[in-house]
Structure 1
Amino acid sequence: MTAIIRKAAEQDLDAVADLFDQYRRFYGRPADLARARAFIGERMRRGESHLLVADLGDGRLGGFVQLYPGFSSVAAAPVLILNDLFVAPDCRRLGLGRQLMEAAQQTGRETGAVYLTLSTAVDNHAAQALYESLAWVRDRDFFHYEWMTGIAP
């Protein structure tokens, strides 16, 4: 299936919020549509991310990818952090994830990012296969660490 991959617009907020809530549940968070809507709405209003959607052309969105701008001190250049990629369960295996990833890569080129980076769960083999098929390389030189502030998400 070929979707139209485009920047999310204000009228997409409710649909994207629903997808974002499903994404959060996929990663073990409780359903909270109000929180999802507030978070996505704020990112859109502030222009804090590149939020691309897969428009199925029938009034539905099949998925989204969200990239956050950042910087590499070592490269002394801008980068993009691919923080979120989600395809609705009924739209999986249709190529939407690949289309969204290709659009994310194009966004990186268009914005002058020297690289895009992402993290995924170690058991998310479907996502890993997609990334590797698009020439993403798993980092073997660095470990990913987190430090929790104690502030509840």
Structure 2
Amino acid sequence: MVNVRSAVLNDLEPLSALLDGYRQFYKQPTDIQAARDFLDQRMGLGDSFILVSENSEGMLTGFVQLYPGVSTVGLNARWTLNDLFVLPNYRDKGTGRALMEAATQLAHDHGVVRLILMTQVENERAQHLYESLGWQRNTAFYGYLLDIK
């Protein structure tokens, strides 16, 4: 069984390594200190919810991070599930599913009516997990990006 709980400040070091691994998955250069600083800021500001999974020895094996937001059209809260990462040795063992289910429960407990996420087109493994949990691909809207430099 996978244990999922809210991240605490004592998780900062191992969580930083997980975030660095997540960034490397998305072809970013390794930078543990930047990952640590980013997470320290999130925890300090409390502007995201971070859940972690751990094995029976208490080692962190994955995380999910959610950012609160709102919908003007819907007049309600909508959170963005921005990050999901599981260590390679813990994939296909229910860890990602447990993190996603815990994220859904956390949102429900906060009265959130919708979770949204984006994933790379090539990330079929993640897409399969999301769809198996009832997530639906958005076909009504296009996503756009603007880099501000």
Deviations 1:53-92 (A, max 9, x none): 0021313101000000000111011111000000011111
Matched, 1:135 2:103: no
Aligned-pair RMSD on alpha carbons? 0.7
Runs of 4+ displaced beyond 3 Å: none
Equivalent residue, structure 2, for 1:147? 146
Determine the C-alpha separation between the residues in 1 that align with 2:76 and 2:61: 33
In the TM superposition, what is the alpha-carbon distance from 1:4 to its structure 2 partner?
1.0
Deviations 1:106-141 (A, max 9, x none): 011011111000000000000000000000000000
Equivalent residue, structure 1, for 2:49? 50
Count of paired positions: 149
TM-score by length of 1: 0.95
Determine the C-alpha separation between the residues in 2 that align with 1:144 and 1:118: 11
Determine the C-alpha separation between the residues in 1 that align with 2:58 and 2:86: 16
- Counterparts of residues 1-153 of structure 1 (less than 5 Å): 2-150=1-149
Unaligned runs of 5+ in 2: none
Percent identity, aligned pairs only? 46
Unaligned runs of 5+ in 1: none
